[in-house]
């Protein structure tokens, strides 16, 4: 260390309590402090700079301090600390130069030299962490005031050093949603259809999404997560994790949406190829998500499918599983990651774990109130890597925004673990030997967009709305070849491939005109997503008296009694027992649906409106019941049946009756649907007639007026 420090040390008042503890063996070059008061830390930072403004011995101390300071003080406080030191320089620094009057023009004045170092330190802060300045208005104003102070002393060289005007804008960090940058303008032609997508394209676009979500997470987000281990009030981190989970599940669903083992194997091979490209791009986070999806037990258990996967692909998959394995504290991954130069995206989860454990293991303050700087140095190693992307240039990919939009929505749609696993069981049922306690495999049934994963809350409706909008625009831009604002059946089928378990063409084509308009598509995707939101599970239940035998939507048991047998939802019309109504897992389908049914009932004079509703709701329920709910359901059902058997002989009788009733109701529904279509066409004719009539009348009026005139 230069002479400066030696001279500075005796300046400390001798009677103060412990202000600094030194490291015996520095963890990082130049970080010699073990713990100290904030003031001492700032002094040390200033003293890390030489008279020429360069770092002494390439000390890493300033970078650690500037990176980590928010762990124990605000940027504003740190900025003020520098200003304070600057202002008190005249008293604290002893200038040994004979006859010096300590003006900036005095060469060799030690006070001026110290002041210069303070400015060098602040300049280092500005150039290496510009994001602190752009996002923190308090800090900005402190430094501006500092500039005025320096200027008033007449030192323009110093003023130049702490100039903030060249700080780039970090506006994008404030936003939640991912917007296309200017570099993305030169769109290249890509297909939006999964089957036609090249693995490289897919990998690049996933990397682009990952990069955009990842670099938004700032120091404070990481710090808060390390301290609370909760995603509450941490939307950016949450978004990144949602992307991770979404991708992993999308992969599982894309595989499971295929009916034959060979088809499923083909999708797996494709995603393994995507994984290869991700590895080349050094995007470890997305790689983890893809490999996690591919090796998830919902896919790993598919013996028939796995038999169709070529051995080479299996080898690659093994290799990646090994690379990302949690064995030996992720040692394989850590080794490879540390060796990778240039652009790379770390596995967020692994490093979050390091942060949490470090924070748990080490106290923030030691020896009374000294800041535990060794902890900061240790944390900085992880945080440096995590925050690096914020200043890194865009990944070496060129993204097509249409594809980005399509992918983004694909990844927004969430399924529960249980639903995916059930689907897996349906595709390739367990052989009876291996399981005793498991529920019998369920027949193939369509899976609908459902609950979000525990912990990660869904994006707010506005975000989803925006994603839907972007995606639909993208689809129309690329697939509405004749630009008439509609998409044909064939075109739709191609797009639908990206969204496993999307409803059929007819469902989207709400007005049944054989074409899908933009509005129809948007409405569909938005409501599909809305179903995923928890609040849509809320029903508006009211006590109700039924005049026909009606069944509970949840436990499928009869609603007993003479009056007020059960509770009915005012919005969607489903019925439930009092004790079941809070357990209903079916979302509240829009009033529109129910209204439509009601209208149909009243028009058709059908025998029993409630029964129709009961049937259709029952069917919906069977689609949606999740495995764990089924357990509950069966229990209630059993209880109900034992109860019932006292009244009627045996359960089978009822079951048969129900089956018969189901059949009947199904027929009725079909009839009603036919009637509905007929009525709709009637309506069309009537509308036409009415319009013609009105036009005639208007013409007549016009003529009348004309003649009167």
Partner 1 sequence: MFSCWTRRQKANMSKAKATQPQVIHKVIMVGSGGVGKSALTLQFMYDEFVEDYEPTKADSYRKKVVLDGEEVQIDILDTAGQEDYAAIRDNYFRSGEGFLCVFSITEQESFQATADFREQILRVKNDDNIPFLLVGNKADLEEKRQVTVDEAQQRAQQWSVPYVETSAKTRANVDKVFYDLMREIRSRKMEATRQSNGKPKKKKEKRRKCTLL
Give residues in contact with partner 1 (CB under 8 A).
Answer: 25, 27-28, 225, 228-231, 238, 241, 244-245, 247-249, 288-289, 292-293, 295-298, 325-329, 331, 334, 338, 349-350, 352-358, 360-362, 374, 378, 381-382, 417, 421, 434-437, 453-456, 628
Nearest distance from C-beta of residue 174 to partner 1, angstroms = 23
Nearest distance from C-beta of residue 318 to partner 1, angstroms = 13
Helix or strand run (H / E) with residue 231: none
The residue among 134 and 417 lying less far from partner 1, judged by its C-beta, is: 417
Nearest distance from C-beta of residue 20 to partner 1, angstroms = 17
Nearest distance from C-beta of residue 570 to partner 1, angstroms = 30
Nearest distance from C-beta of residue 356 to partner 1, angstroms = 5
Among 484, 478, 485, 481, CA closest to 522: 485
The residue among 639 and 648 lying less far from partner 1, judged by its C-beta, is: 639
The residue among 358 and 448 lying less far from partner 1, judged by its C-beta, is: 358
Among 616, 607, 527, 535, CA closest to 575: 616
Instruction: Indicate the angle between helix axes 199-214 and 235-256, nearest 10 degrees.
Output: 160
Nearest distance from C-beta of residue 430 to partner 1, angstroms = 9
d(Cα 595, Cα 604) in Å, to the nearest integer?
14
d(Cα 691, Cα 434) in Å, to the nearest integer?
67
Nearest distance from C-beta of residue 686 to partner 1, angstroms = 52
Nearest distance from C-beta of residue 438 to partner 1, angstroms = 9
Nearest distance from C-beta of residue 378 to partner 1, angstroms = 8
Residue 406 · residue 471 · CB < 8 Å: yes
DSSP 94: P
Q: Count Cβ atoms below 10 Å from residue 628 Cβ, excluding itself.
A: 11
The residue among 40 and 296 lying less far from partner 1, judged by its C-beta, is: 296
The residue among 349 and 461 lying less far from partner 1, judged by its C-beta, is: 349
> Using CA of residue 74, residue 76, residue 79, residue 80, what is the dihedral sign?
negative
Nearest distance from C-beta of residue 568 to partner 1, angstroms = 30
The residue among 387 and 672 lying less far from partner 1, judged by its C-beta, is: 387
97 Cβ neighbours under 8 A, 6+ residues apart: 106, 108, 109, 110
The residue among 79 and 292 lying less far from partner 1, judged by its C-beta, is: 292
Residue with tokens 């630009």: 483
The residue among 578 and 627 lying less far from partner 1, judged by its C-beta, is: 627
Q: Count Cβ atoms below 10 Å from residue 7 Cβ, excluding itself.
A: 13
DSSP 362: S
Among 539, 507, 543, CA closest to 525: 507
> Using CA of residue 623, residue 626, residue 627, residue 629, what is the dihedral sign?
negative
The residue among 306 and 676 lying less far from partner 1, judged by its C-beta, is: 306
Residue 362 · residue 27 · CB < 8 Å: no
The residue among 292 and 500 lying less far from partner 1, judged by its C-beta, is: 292
The residue among 330 and 499 lying less far from partner 1, judged by its C-beta, is: 330
d(Cα 421, Cα 415) in Å, to the nearest integer?
10
Tell me the Ramachandran region of residue 485: left when phi exceeds 0, alpha when psi lies from -120 to 50, beta otherwise.
Answer: left
167 Cβ neighbours under 8 A, 6+ residues apart: 126, 130, 133, 134
Residue 202 · residue 273 · CB < 8 Å: no
Q: Is 625 helix (H, G, I), strand (E, B) or coil?
A: coil
Q: Euclidean distance between the first and final Cα of the chain, in Å?
A: 105
Nearest distance from C-beta of residue 369 to partner 1, angstroms = 18
The residue among 122 and 299 lying less far from partner 1, judged by its C-beta, is: 299
Length of the chain: 709
Q: Is 365 helix (H, G, I), strand (E, B) or coil?
A: strand
The residue among 101 and 361 lying less far from partner 1, judged by its C-beta, is: 361
Nearest distance from C-beta of residue 206 to partner 1, angstroms = 14
Q: Is 417 helix (H, G, I), strand (E, B) or coil?
A: helix
Q: State how far Cα 237 lies from the chain centre.
A: 8
d(Cα 697, Cα 541) in Å, to the nearest integer?
47
Nearest distance from C-beta of residue 244 to partner 1, angstroms = 6
DSSP 26: -
């Amino acid at each position: 260390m230069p002479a400066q420090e030696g001279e500075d040390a005796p300046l400390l008042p001798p009677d103060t309590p412990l202000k600094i503890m030194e490291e015996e063996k520095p963890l990082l070059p130049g970080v010699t402090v073990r713990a100290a008061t904030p003031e001492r830390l700032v002094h040390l930072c200033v003293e890390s700079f030489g008279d020429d403004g360069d770092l002494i011995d390439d000390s890493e101390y300033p970078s650690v301090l500037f990176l980590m300071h928010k762990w124990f003080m605000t940027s504003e406080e740190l900025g003020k600390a520098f200003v304070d030191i600057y202002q008190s320089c005249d008293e604290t620094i002893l200038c040994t130069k004979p006859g010096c009057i300590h003006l900036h023009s005095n060469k060799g004045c030690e006070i001026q030299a110290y002041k210069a170092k303070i400015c060098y330190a602040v300049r280092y802060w500005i150039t290496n962490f510009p994001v602190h300045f752009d996002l923190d208005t308090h800090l900005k104003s402190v430094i501006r005031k500092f500039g005025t102070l320096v200027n008033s002393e007449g030192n323009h060289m110093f003023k130049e050093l702490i100039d903030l005007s060249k700080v780039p804008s970090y506006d994008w960090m404030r936003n939640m949603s991912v917007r296309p940058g200017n570099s993305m303008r030169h769109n290249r032609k890509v297909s939006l259809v999964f089957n036609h997508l090249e693995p490289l394209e897919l990998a690049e676009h996933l990397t682009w999404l990952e990069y955009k979500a990842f670099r938004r997470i700032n120091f404070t987000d990481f710090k808060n997560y390390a301290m609370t281990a909760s995603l509450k009030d941490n939307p950016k981190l949450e978004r990144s994790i949602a992307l991770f989970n979404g991708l992993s599940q999308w992969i599982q669903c894309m595989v499971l949406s295929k009916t034959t083992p060979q088809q499923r194997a083909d999708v797996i091979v494709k995603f393994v190829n995507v994984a290869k490209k991700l590895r080349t791009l050094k995007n470890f986070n997305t790689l983890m998500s893809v490999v996690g999806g591919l090796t998830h037990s919902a896919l790993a258990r598919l013996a028939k499918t796995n038999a169709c996967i070529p051995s080479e692909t299996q080898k690659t998959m093994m290799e990646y599983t090994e690379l990302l394995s949690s064995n030996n504290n992720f040692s394989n991954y850590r080794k490879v990651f540390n060796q990778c130069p240039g652009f790379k995206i770390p596995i967020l989860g692994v490093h979050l774990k390091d942060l949490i454990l470090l924070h748990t293991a080490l106290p923030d303050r030691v020896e009374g109130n000294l800041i535990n700087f060794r902890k900061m140095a240790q944390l900085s190693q992880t945080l440096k890597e995590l925050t690096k992307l914020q200043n890194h240039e865009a990944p070496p990919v060129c993204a097509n925004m249409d594809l980005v939009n399509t992918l983004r929505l694909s990844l927004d749609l969430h399924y529960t673990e249980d639903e995916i696993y059930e689907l897996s069981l349906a595709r390739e049922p367990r052989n009876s030997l291996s399981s005793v306690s498991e529920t019998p495999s369920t027949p193939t049934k369509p899976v609908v967009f459902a609950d979000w994963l525990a912990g990660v809350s869904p994006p707010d409706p506005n975000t989803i709305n925006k994603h839907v909008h972007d995606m639909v625009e993208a689809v129309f831009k690329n697939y509405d070849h004749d630009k008439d604002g509609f998409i044909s059946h064939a075109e739709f089928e191609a797009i639908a491939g990206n969204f496993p378990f999307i409803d059929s063409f007819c469902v989207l084509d709400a007005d049944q005109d054989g074409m899908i308009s933009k509005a129809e598509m948007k409405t569909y995707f938005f409501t599909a997503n809305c179903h995923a939101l928890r609040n849509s599970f809320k029903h508006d239940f009211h006590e109700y008296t039924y005049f026909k035998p009606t069944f509970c939507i949840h436990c499928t048991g009869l609603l007993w009694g003479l009056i007020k047998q059960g509770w009915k939802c005012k919005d969607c019309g489903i019925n439930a027992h009092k004790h079941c109504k809070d357990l209903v897992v079916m979302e509240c389908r829009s009033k529109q649906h129910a209204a439509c049914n009601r209208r149909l009932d009243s028009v058709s004079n059908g025998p029993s409106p409630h029964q129709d509703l009961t049937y259709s709701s029952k069917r919906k329920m069977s689609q949606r019941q999740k495995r764990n709910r089924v357990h509950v359901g069966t229990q209630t059902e059993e209880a109900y049946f034992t109860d019932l058997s006292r009244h009627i002989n045996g359960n089978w009788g009822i079951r048969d009756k129900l089956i018969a009733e189901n059949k009947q109701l199904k027929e009725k529904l079909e009839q009603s649907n036919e009637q509905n279509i007929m009525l709709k066409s009637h309506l069309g004719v009537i509308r036409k007639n009415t319009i013609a009539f009105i036009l005639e009348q208007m013409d007549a009026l016009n003529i009348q007026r004309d003649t009167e005139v």
